Structure 1
Amino acid sequence: MDRKMLQHLFFLYKFLFKLLCYPQGHNLKSKSLKYMRYESMADKHTPEELLNTTLVFEVEGGLLRSNSLFPYFMLVAFEGGGLLRGLVLFLFYPLVCLVSKERGLKIMVFICFFGIKKDNFRIGRTILPKFFMEDLGFEGFEVVRRCGRKVGVSELPRVMVEGFLKDYLDVDCVFGKDLKVVCGYFVGMMEDETTRTSFLMKDVFGDMKSDCHLIGFGTSNKILDHQLFSLCKEIYLASKADKRRWRALPRDKYPKPLIFHDGRIAFMPTYLDTLAMIVWVPFGLGVGILRIIITMSFPYTIAIPILCFTGMSGRRYTRSFAKNKLRASSTNQNKSKGTLYVCNHRTLLDPIYISMAIMKPVTALTYSVSPLSELLSPIKTFHLSRNKEKDYKIMETLLNQNHDVVLCPEGTTCREPYVLRFSPLFAEISNDFIPVALDAKVSMFYGTTASGFKFLDPLFFVLNPTAIYHIKILENLLDANIVEQSRIEIANRVQKQIAEALGFQCTNLTRRDKYMVLAGNEGVV
């Protein structure tokens, strides 16, 4: 090999080296950037300096532990477009993996968003925040939390991430891809972000770009993909190996409590888990129908063992005082009034599980139950009107007619470990009631919804491969000073007792607060 050939090979090597080190599209200014490991940020900057610093971070690389965007698009497809759209995304995902990342992203956006009405799209604020929060890396979250002003850069469409970043992480500005809208509907294509990015950069940083101390944070292979990072004077990188060691953010470290969320899927729908769901659903429909038939047709002594065998079980915890009271109430045939059971509200099946726990029929007081749910219910139900005087008369009449009544003073369900504010109406009816603490664990689908079809709630619950109910029958802690306590104080005391029994937290939030967050109304769905 002659000398000229060696020179050509040397220049080719230098060209390839520069091409790999400085990807196409980045200006010469990026060569002067300082790249450091993200752990060194705390050593190089004091907490006071970081509070006066603007952090530009990559959402997927700097916050989330997972490397795949498929679960989030599956949530949009399934919750926003139904099972068929989710199935289409699942079938097309192998093609997405074969093409470039940019084209794969466009394919998933088209499948998930085509034909979705823009004004009705609330998934980014009501469903995705739960899964984003559970996917947060503790180490990445600590880096973002230390800085005063935060600017997020995401590959996802902005409608998917903006609500979570602004509502829960207090991010000042979000740079994401906007979706094209025609006649109020998404058409499944993304806008050119160059113009909007330039406008936002001027809006966020103004004419102070050179004087503003910007710090970048993300992963090494993607950090230069956005022009915003070229303004940063320092960039801190987290490698893929670092992210694999990241821990999940503990619930007690959440920047804001996650109390309300919507949607049916109860697990992170990775590709393999989605495959398991698709395989299970046809079989699970048969199992669910069988569970309903067993509950309606057989006495509890026979139905409970069969339900446990099929995956639906319950665990009862009864304290000695409450146990004696239950035994006395069941053996006293001449009692003049029925027993009032006061519980927190997890699903529509709460009264049924209480009935199974005490092995006797009860009457459920409900606010809004579909005719299908009433038809499938193995226990009696009575409707409440949310009119205090009418509801008082209904409950008093049922108790005087020797009915054992189950009442949920929260007025709506709550999935997370919180107990909503109790209505004091039950305390006005009787001082002699039994508090019951309930918790429900599901493996695949939630049996509650705020914006979906409520008549499907019990069907989705029985569709789970496994579901466990925890029933804790508590003692009435009201003492001789009950006359000196107001009904609101009694309700707050029972709320606190149930929350402590479950390890939950009490809140002052109500049904109205829940529906304003999840459905945009005051509970009329």
Structure 2
Amino acid sequence: MVTMPASAPSRRSVVAELEGALLRRADTFPYFMLVAFEASGLPRFAALLALWPLLRLLELAGRRGLALRAAAFVATAGVPRAEVEAVSRAVLPKFMADDVDPAAWAAFGACEGRRVVVTAMPRVMVERFAKEHLGAHDVVGCDLEYSRLRRSTGLLRGGGGEAVADRVRALFAGAERPDLGIGRSEMARSFLPFCKEQLRPPFTTADDTASAPPFRPVIFHDGRLVCRPTAFMSVVILLWLPLGVLVAFVRIAVGLMVPIWTIPHIAPIFGGAVIMHGRAPPPVGDADGASPSGVLFVCTHRTLMDPVVLATVLGRRVAAVTYSISRLSEVLSPIPTVRLTRDRDVDAARMRAELARGDVAVCPEGTTCREPFLLRFSALFAELSDRIVPVAMNYRVGLFHPTTARGWKAMDPIFFFMNPRPVYEVTFLNQLPAEATCAAGKSAVDVANYVQRILAATLGFECTSLTRKDKYRVLAGNDGIVVNAAKPAAAGKTAWQSRIKEVLGFLLH
């Protein structure tokens, strides 16, 4: 066991191995499984899983490098470069962040100078996480080769102990040697002697390393898999998928046929649960003779199902304000939907008209967020009504994420119901007092920020100023703006083919 020395904050440079040092686990197999599933689909996912026994034998025989190259070939051969980069940007960082060793990060993060991360995986799979979340300046590793058609050949260039050592020395050419080296594998032994001081796991954190900056969390991530796809969990996923699809369609069919108020009561029969906290407000009547107006439910946005679950708990009609959901989701929705246009005046008029008919559910974040953070609230809702009821929505799933930025959103409810035990929690807060609304002279922004704070406090989340645009720039490389313009026939055909691929759950990749 190695204890961090007291002089850690004075170090200026560090070279650290990623697998098995900065990350607790040295196994790279789950990351290649993620690339196979998210970039190509089930056939490649299953093929790589079938290869796992051979890969494991190679590792036990001391041929870890060959095993890694074989896994990289099966996972990426023929995959477009853009897909590999998208998965590396949007999917892998979350799984890597969950595996960071706090003590290793304390030593690495306390170094104020040049930070270098050494990895056995292709650099494209690691660079986003290393630079954005670990604060690395350079990443040393092998490179994935591409054809002239910008598709991966599955072959790796570089890597290996001597090549890594040469690259590390080249980075520090003309300067002092790295002050600290962190590593554990055979590859790490090639560069650790070049460092002035060496640390090997297991680590313990000394008090003086508290000066390390906090680890930057992964707020936005994409992909359908919730759990880390180890060999065992990958077998579980493949075995569950056929049954999960059947269960999902049964749950959806039953939900469309029964009265909406019965769903929370029958959900446990089908393996789910809807948990309610707080007291749901009664419908607003017009006994006072005034013009009737519905309640405006302001919800945190976790999945596409938020307003539907809210309506089941209330047991009455609630219109959902939507922006980018698919037409199929609108058709299947058991509650009315109001499609927004991102034109403030038009959207305000539509929401006021719907409030005149009854209750309305709105998610001011504008997009979902999987992590315990709330995005910035749009202030438009605060201008429309003084009957505002904040609702804290949250959910729990075990295998599949029911949200996506890059995929087809019509699959979201299907993936939600494919989970063995999908659980939703709905917490009603008290209606905002009159003095906390715009009617008392508060600005719409102040009201929106106040609602965001009380909802975050209820859920134990953290408020942020991030927006839909920030999310889509990270995950999809665009601003998340939906263009409804008509497409040419040829383009429409391509889009339709891509939709078929999504509906079949990656089977046609």
Letter in 1 for 2:10: E
* Counterpart secondary structure, 1:175: strand
> Which residue does 2:361 correspond to in 1?
406
In 2, distance between residues paired with 1:231 and 1:104? 27
In 2, distance between residues paired with 1:124 and 1:468? 29
Cα deviation for residue 391 of structure 1 reads 0.7
In 1, distance between residues paired with 2:81 and 2:73? 14
State whether structure 2 residue 49 is matched by structure 1 residue 94: no
Gap regions ≥5 residues in structure 1: 1-36, 246-251
In 1, distance between residues paired with 2:134 and 2:163? 23
- Please say if residues 261 and 316 of structure 2, whose CA atoms lie closer than 8 Å, have aligned partners that are also in contact: no
- Aligned-pair Cα RMSD in Å: 2.4
In 1, distance between residues paired with 2:399 and 2:133? 25
Cα deviation for residue 119 of structure 1 reads 2.9
Cα deviation for residue 200 of structure 1 reads 4.3
Of 365, 377, 401 in structure 1, the residue corresponding to residue 333 of structure 2 is: 377
Distance 1:38 1:190, change over 3 A: same
Deviations 1:423-458 (A, max 9, x none): 111111111121111111111111111111212111
Of 92, 107, 117 in structure 1, the residue corresponding to residue 70 of structure 2 is: 107
> Which residue does 2:465 correspond to in 1?
508
Cα deviation for residue 333 of structure 1 reads 11
Deviations 1:390-444 (A, max 9, x none): 11111111112x2211111111111111111111111111111211111111111
- Please say if residues 220 and 237 of structure 1, whose CA atoms lie closer than 8 Å, have aligned partners that are also in contact: no
> Which residue does 1:427 correspond to in 2?
382
Cα deviation for residue 213 of structure 1 reads 4.5
The within-5 A match list for 1:183-222 is 183=148, 184-193=150-159, 200-201=167-168, 204-208=171-175, 211-219=176-184, 222=187
Cα deviation for residue 229 of structure 1 reads 2.9
Cα deviation for residue 298 of structure 1 reads 0.5
Of 227, 240, 258 in structure 2, the residue corresponding to residue 267 of structure 1 is: 227
Distance 1:331 1:295, change over 3 A: farther
In 2, distance between residues paired with 1:520 and 1:157? 21
> Which residue does 2:272 correspond to in 1?
312
* Counterpart secondary structure, 1:229: helix
* Number of equivalent positions: 465
> Which residue does 1:6 correspond to in 2?
none
- Please say if residues 264 and 445 of structure 1, whose CA atoms lie closer than 8 Å, have aligned partners that are also in contact: yes
- Bigger shift: 482-491 or 408-417? 482-491
Deviations 1:91-111 (A, max 9, x none): 111111122212111111001
> Which residue does 1:75 correspond to in 2?
34
Cα deviation for residue 301 of structure 1 reads 4.6
Distance 1:343 1:377, change over 3 A: same
In 2, distance between residues paired with 1:475 and 1:422? 19
Cα deviation for residue 384 of structure 1 reads 0.9
Of 372, 377, 380 in structure 2, the residue corresponding to residue 417 of structure 1 is: 372
* Counterpart secondary structure, 1:219: coil
Cα deviation for residue 196 of structure 1 reads 7.4
In 2, distance between residues paired with 1:104 and 1:418? 39
Letter in 1 for 2:99: D
Distance 1:232 1:274, change over 3 A: same
In 1, distance between residues paired with 2:223 and 2:333? 23
The within-5 A match list for 1:210-359 is 211-219=176-184, 222-224=187-189, 226=190, 228-238=191-201, 242=202, 255-319=215-279, 323=280, 326-327=281-282, 329=284, 336-359=292-315
> Which residue does 1:49 correspond to in 2?
10
Distance 1:197 1:95, change over 3 A: closer
The within-5 A match list for 1:148-163 is 148=112, 149-163=114-128
> Which residue does 2:426 correspond to in 1?
471
* Counterpart secondary structure, 2:188: coil
> Which residue does 1:31 correspond to in 2?
none
> Which residue does 2:490 correspond to in 1?
none
In 1, distance between residues paired with 2:94 and 2:225? 11
> Which residue does 1:493 correspond to in 2?
450
Of 174, 181, 186 in structure 1, the residue corresponding to residue 139 of structure 2 is: 174
Distance 1:480 1:140, change over 3 A: closer
In 1, distance between residues paired with 2:77 and 2:453? 46
Gap regions ≥5 residues in structure 2: 206-211, 483-509
Distance 1:432 1:216, change over 3 A: same
Larger Cα Rg: Structure 1 or Structure 2? 1
